[in-house]
Amino acid sequence: MEAVRSPVADKVVEFRGVQLQTQAFGNPASPPVLLIMGVMSSMLWWPERFCEELAVQGRYVIRYDQRDTGLSTYYPPGEPSYSFSDLADDAIAVLDGYGIEAAHLVGMSMGGFVAQEAALRHPRRVRTLTLISSSPVGVGGLPSSAAAYKEHSAAAENIDWSDLEAIADFMRRDSAMLAGTKHPHDAEAASALIARDMDRAPSYVSATNHFMLLSGNEGATLHASRMGKPVLAIHGTSDPLFPIEHGEAFTRVAPNARLHRIIGGGHEIHERDIDEVVRAIAGHTMS
């Protein structure tokens, strides 16, 4: 029997002159879950099956393109006229666009930092936080990335960021470097997703503006210890970008946090881990 697909609807949310491309899965009467993806990544990096399965669990799932990704407003490369805090406000603006008073926020990697800032600055708009492959804001002294990944990242300085094929090649290598040890890396699927993301964006290179925000975060005074919402950290034990100690730190710092380890998982939502991740999020967002 063919699986029942949840209803899907596209919508553009406008906020302070910015257009944010969004997509919703499931029943609008269900508890809302807002998905916030990481650096240089459009909403396509939230796997469609992940969104559908979470909707089947009785959640109204919304994913969106952050500024400078996908079909949302973009800026000239090297000239982002917005801050990291604006990205946090954008998440709240998406909720406003859907008429949602408060939602469960799910952030991946940099999206986890956006979700934390949104929760710290707009606590009444957030029910719970799920932070995947991320790190607690304001907390230092945690292990740095794996040596091999640092070497790979350093090579980005030699890339011609005006050459889309050179960017695509780097992104393919990046996807492989971020993979865990539990499952084989699907290079073909990763390449197809990267191509789809690049073809869809009017100015894909503008996504590099995100790195400028990370180096000048005006919300640096925020701290995860002041998080008043329940936190679920989902973290791969083989994450090369944010080692597992980053996920474990949430349980020490945030007042109401717990950790779900993906054994052998990397800095990714692997197709074979979707069911496990969906179950964890569904359980965390029951209230």
Helix (H) or strand (E) holding 248: helix 244-253
Give the whole-number percent of the chain exceeding pLDDT 90: 90
pLDDT of residue 216: 52
pTM of the model: 0.96
pLDDT of residue 156: 87
User: Residue 4 pLDDT more than 60?
Assistant: no
Lay out the sheet containing 60-64: strands in order across: 8-15, 18-25, 60-64, 32-36, 103-108, 126-132, 231-236, 257-262
What domains lie within the chain, and their CATH numbers?
8-284 (3.40.50.1820)
Taking the CA of residue 22 as centre, how many other CA atoms within 13 Å lie in the half-sphere pointing to its CB?
27
Give the whole-number percent of the chain exceeding pLDDT 70: 95
User: Residue 203 pLDDT more than 80?
Assistant: yes
Whole-number Å distance between alpha carbons of 163 and 213: 22
Confidence class of residue 1 from pLDDT cuts 50, 70 and 90?
very low
Give the model confidence (pLDDT) of 137-159 as tens digits.
999 999 999 999 999 999 888 99
